[in-house]
């Protein structure tokens, strides 16, 4: 599990089991709401503060240094709101900024890549043939290759950057002929790297919206069923494990549903986009300037 915090920043820090403090989640935009969706299923009583850095999205095409700088300001925003745990609901930020985020946080930080790698291993059997798709930044970082090799050095991993899936997910073109053409364009080179791929990891928090078309096109190309997995539920499970280990009394057994407070650095189109990713109505976003 990817969990770390910097105890030197706050040696007397209260354990995350202290239940009334919210969980903080950030992403470059709205994709991270797929992680919030999983978090609300796993821990329905928990309060959540979500930040989408929508003014600066996409992170996937930016340099690692810029992604790290933006990610640190996002995390600080959440820490300033007293969160007890930070979830980096952005694969690009997780791949390029996790060490800096952990070093800057007195509370535990959960990235997206290692839970994604854990899910990929749980969904497959050796000899493993895995494929990962993500943003340019995530694929270039090699973070999935590192995480998977650490767990199963014999696993074979093919990787392709699939940046056009991000605007398709936002546009709501998630299972039509345009999405299928784009999926074929990305998945053909993935299978060309390794025709034996059995499991595809969605290494971007936008991609779960396109899961059906990705699974269908991948299975057509392979001529057999392909498992498609993402890191959202594994991240939520990791959050639950931390809270329970820290002594939270059954964090999902509260009588009341937890609050969800959403912030964004730009609010254009969010009323339309956010419910698609969250899977439930949303009461609105407060505009913040980082």
Catalytic residue positions, numbered: 90, 204
* Residues contacting ligand DGL: total by CB under 6 A: 17
Minimum CB distance to ligand DGL smaller for 92 or for 199: 92
Spatial CA neighbour of 103 closest among 71, 80, 135, 77: 71
- 181: preceding bond cis by omega (within 30 degrees): no
Minimum CB distance to ligand DGL smaller for 201 or for 243: 201
Q: Which of residues 156-175 bind ligand DGL (CB under 6 A)?
A: 166
Q: Does 96 bind ligand DGL (CB under 6 A)?
A: no
Q: Does 131 bind ligand DGL (CB under 6 A)?
A: no
Closest approach of Cβ 28 to ligand DGL, in Å? 3
Determine which residue in the list 5, 21, 26, 28 makes contact with ligand DGL, applying CB under 6 A.
Answer: 28
Minimum CB distance to ligand DGL smaller for 138 or for 199: 138
Closest approach of Cβ 147 to ligand DGL, in Å? 15
Determine which residue in the list 204, 228, 264, 282 makes contact with ligand DGL, applying CB under 6 A.
Answer: 204
Minimum CB distance to ligand DGL smaller for 89 or for 221: 89
Determine which residue in the list 16, 21, 27, 114 makes contact with ligand DGL, applying CB under 6 A.
Answer: 27
Q: What angle do CA 150, 63, 81 make, to 5 degrees?
A: 80
Determine which residue in the list 206, 208, 217, 242 makes contact with ligand DGL, applying CB under 6 A.
Answer: 206
Which of these segments, 25-33, 122-130, 171-179, 225-233, binds ligand DGL (CB under 6 A)?
A: 25-33
Q: Does 138 bind ligand DGL (CB under 6 A)?
A: yes
Q: Does 229 bind ligand DGL (CB under 6 A)?
A: no
Residues that bind ligand DGL (CB under 6 A): 27-29, 31, 57-60, 90-92, 135, 138, 166, 204-206
């Amino acid at each position: 599990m990817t969990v770390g915090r910097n105890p030197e920043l706050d040696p007397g820090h209260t354990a995350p089991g202290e239940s009334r403090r919210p969980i903080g989640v950030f992403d470059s935009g709205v994709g991270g709401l797929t992680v919030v969706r999983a978090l609300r299923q796993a821990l329905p009583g928990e309060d959540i503060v979500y930040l989408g850095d929508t003014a600066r999205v996409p992170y996937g095409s930016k340099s690692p240094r810029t992604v790290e700088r933006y990610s640190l300001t996002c995390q600080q925003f959440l820490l300033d709101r007293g969160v007890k745990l930070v979830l980096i609901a952005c694969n690009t930020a997780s791949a390029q900024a996790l060490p800096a985020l952990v070093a800057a946080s007195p509370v535990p930080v959960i990235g997206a890549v290692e839970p994604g790698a854990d899910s990929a291993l749980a969904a497959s059997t050796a000899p493993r043939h895995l494929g990962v798709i993500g943003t340019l930044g995530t694929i270039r970082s090699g973070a999935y290759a590192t995480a998977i090799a650490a767990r199963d050095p014999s696993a074979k991993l093919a990787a392709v950057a699939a940046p056009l899936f991000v605007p398709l997910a936002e546009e709501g073109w998630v299972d039509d002929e345009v999405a299928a053409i784009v999926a074929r364009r990305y998945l053909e080179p993935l299978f060309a790297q390794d025709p034996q791929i059995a499991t595809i990891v969605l290494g971007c928090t936008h991609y779960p919206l396109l899961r059906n078309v990705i699974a269908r096109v991948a299975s057509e190309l392979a001529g057999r069923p392909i498992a498609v997995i993402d890191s959202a539920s594994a991240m939520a499970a990791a959050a639950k494990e931390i809270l329970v280990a820290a002594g939270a009394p059954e964090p999902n057994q509260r009588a009341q549903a937890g609050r969800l407070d959403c912030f964004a650095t730009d609010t254009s189109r969010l009323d339309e986009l956010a419910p698609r990713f969250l899977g439930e109505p949303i009461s609105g976003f407060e505009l913040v300037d980082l």
